[in-house]
Amino acid sequence: MSKILVTGGAGFIGSNFVRLLLAQRRHSVVNLDKLTYAGNLENLKDVESDPRYAFVKADIADRPAMERVFAEHRPEVVVHLAAESHVDRSVLDASAFVLTNVLGTQVLLDVARQHGVQRFVHVSTDEVYGSLGATGKFSETTPLAPNSPYSSSKAGSDLLVRAAFHTHHFPAIITRCSNNYGPYQFPEKLIPLMIANALEGKKLPVYGDGRNVRDWIYVTDHCEAIALVMEKGRDGEVYNIGGDAERENLHVVRTILKLLGRGEDLIQYVKDRPGHDRRYAIDHTKIAGELGWRPRHDFETALARTVEWYVQNRPWWERVRSGAYRTYYETQYGGRLKGG
């Protein structure tokens, strides 16, 4: 059994990953999260009383805070998911992306190395490879060509992780995954935004012609891949993770409307995102061959399950939209935690 420090565990993928670790492994987990707008401890309500789980509120770019957390908790493994993650926000202001994704990752690498961490999994994105034309897929050897401030800051962090391995022999691994969907995704990303808007009878804003393609993966498939890489991956390697589910945005939006019994009149074409990447597609033969991983969920079935989750868990996203979720940390944890 190991002690695993998960950064960004209060976010979408992080909370699903923490839940998977506690349910399927014997490890103990320290969830380190700054609780930005994207961090929501209500995502982990069901596990917060588990004795193997602890939460620390801290910023990965704050070196003294990281030194305190590592000295106190002494993690053997770090799984690094904390990041600013939304492309549209990075177009408006890139500064938090550079601070957290670039500087924060370097601080974490330094402190983890000083404390003799045995494995560091850096969770990155296929967006670092840039945009594809009509054919082809991203492999681990595709040159990095990020186009947005978000993907550029993630590419910067990937290169710093690579440098820590080559320069200091630090045992780090990088994963690059395609677009995730599933429970607890912040309703600013395509799928939860469209579901919530449709449920409220609001317009569904489709950027440009709606023909951009993403390779969708159900979040638990991604989390299983991260856990496998953490346990069996090779130091210094990159592993691509994808869902084998390329779909145009318009197809995704129409399917959501159909699942909810709403009409296509709710679709509203809006001005395109500046620098909007056209197509992403992942070749995941490396992780399949080396670690025996493959996505388990088929897109249409898992999307229907996701839509049902947002229908059943309306209070969760209504509290996010109203901002009420921001009070949960204070009321539930206030005064009981160090490092806040």
Q: Which residues are catalytic?
A: 126-127, 150
Residue tagged 């309306």 (tokens): 314
Per-residue contact track with ligand NAD, 234 to 273, x per CB under 6 A?
----------------------------------------
8 A C-beta contact, residue 40 and residue 328: yes
Residue 265 CB, nearest approach to ligand NAD (Å) = 29
Q: Which of residues 121-180 bind ligand NAD (CB under 6 A)?
A: 123, 125, 154, 177, 179-180
196 near ligand NAD (CB under 6 A): no
- Considering beta carbons, is residue 237 or 262 the nearer one to ligand NAD? 237
- Considering beta carbons, is residue 77 or 190 the nearer one to ligand TYD? 190
Q: Which of residues 40-69 bind ligand NAD (CB under 6 A)?
A: 59-61
Which pair of structure tokens corresponds to residue 279? Answer: 């197509």
- For the four alpha carbons of 184, 287, 282 and 129, in that order, the dihedral sign comes to positive
Binding site partner of 102, from ligand TYD, ligand NAD, none, Cβ cut-off 5-8 A by kind: none
H-helix segments, the chain = 12-24, 63-73, 87-92, 95-97, 105-114, 149-168, 190-199, 219-232, 249-259, 285-291, 299-312, 314-322, 328-333
Total interface residues for ligand NAD by CB under 6 A? 30
CA distance 40 to 219: 17
Q: Which residues bind ligand TYD (CB under 6 A)?
A: 87, 179, 189-190, 193, 205-207, 212, 214, 249, 273
8 A C-beta contact, residue 84 and residue 186: no
- Considering beta carbons, is residue 23 or 269 the nearer one to ligand NAD? 23
Task: Give the DSSP per-residue string, 123-173.
Answer: EEEGGGG----SS--B-TTSPP---SHHHHHHHHHHHHHHHHHHHH---EE
Q: Where along the sequence are the contacts to ligand NAD (CB under 6 A)?
A: 7-8, 10-14, 33-36, 38-39, 59-61, 81-85, 100, 104, 123, 125, 154, 177, 179-180, 186
